[in-house]
């Protein structure tokens, strides 16, 4: 959380001093934007360390007007880099019924130049991927929905778990979940511990089947067993 003082006062966007922190990444002040300043210094340090591969930056925000979860990404001149950047949100859309790839967009709006996603997308090298993950304040729609479904603490947490599962897909470690499942005592409800959709036939929160994920990975040019 980069806005603890603002959140303490009930703000969700502005700091105690009234700054919209996600517009000051270019030149953060150690006095006025200390959290941004510290995190920016850390990211720069990590990106310059040859022993560390800094591959993902995901800034999580709530959205006050749109439904579902979706992402903002950056626009690049290299077509191959553009295609690679679309892989993670496409995989997330496969795993989470409340995530919308159709609402996901890639842009270079001038007004967004001071955001973490835009600034770090220009600062880090082409092996890094920078996104903003936006999630609706109030509701989402799925292919099976006939009306908006209100978000709850539980469904927000499910989306977070699906983001983690998508990293397993992305890095081709899908079997990791099955290995964990085998080690969990049977009296523990796996729905509370594992990623959603791993129990029974439900796929209740939209986590796709192995066959679906294999087809999607093949279409994206991603190889490796599930």
How far is it, in rounded angstroms, from Cα 40 to Cα 115?
A: 12
Place of tokens 């990293």: 167
How far is it, in rounded angstroms, from Cα 21 to Cα 15?
A: 7
**What does the block give as tokens for 42?**
């850390």
Which of these, 115, 104, 127, 109, lies nearest to 2 by C-alpha position?
Answer: 115
How far is it, in rounded angstroms, from Cα 214 to Cα 169?
A: 10
**What does the block give as tokens for 48?**
């310059």
Would you call 153 a catalytic residue per the annotation?
A: no
Helix, strand, coil abundance in the chain, percent, nearest 5: 40, 15, 45
How far is it, in rounded angstroms, from Cα 54 to Cα 100?
A: 26
What is the DSSP pairing of strand 149-150 with strand 139-140? antiparallel
Place of tokens 């603490």: 153
Q: Which residues contact 183 (CB under 8 A, 6 or more apart)?
A: none
Q: In 3-state terms, what secondary structure has residue 132?
A: strand
Looking at residue 21, the DSSP 8-state letter turns out to be: G
Given 55, 79, 80, 134, the catalytic residue: 134
| Catalytically active residues, by annotation | 134
């Amino acid at each position: 959380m980069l806005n603890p003082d603002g959140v303490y006062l009930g703000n969700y966007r502005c700091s105690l001093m009234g700054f919209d922190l996600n517009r000051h990444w270019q030149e953060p002040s150690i006095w006025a934007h200390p959290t941004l300043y510290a995190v920016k210094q850390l990211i720069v340090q990590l990106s310059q360390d040859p022993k560390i591969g800094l591959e993902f930056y995901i800034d999580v925000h709530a959205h006050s007007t749109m439904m579902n979860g979706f992402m903002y990404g950056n626009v690049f001149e290299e077509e191959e880099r553009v295609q690679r950047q679309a892989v993670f949100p496409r995989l997330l859309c496969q795993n989470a019924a409340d995530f919308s790839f159709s609402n996901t967009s890639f842009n270079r709006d001038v007004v967004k130049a001071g955001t973490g996603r835009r600034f770090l997308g220009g600062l880090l090298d082409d092996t890094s991927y920078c996104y903003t993950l936006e999630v609706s304040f109030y509701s989402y729609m799925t292919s099976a929905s006939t009306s908006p479904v209100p978000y709850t603490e539980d469904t927000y947490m499910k989306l977070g778990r699906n983001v983690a599962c998508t990293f397993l897909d992305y890095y081709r470690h899908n079997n990791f979940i099955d290995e964990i499942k085998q080690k969990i005592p049977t009296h523990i409800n796996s729905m509370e511990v594992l990623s959603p959709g791993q129990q029974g036939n439900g796929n209740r929160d939209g986590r796709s089947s192995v066959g679906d994920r294999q087809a999607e990975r093949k279409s994206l040019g991603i190889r490796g067993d599930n």
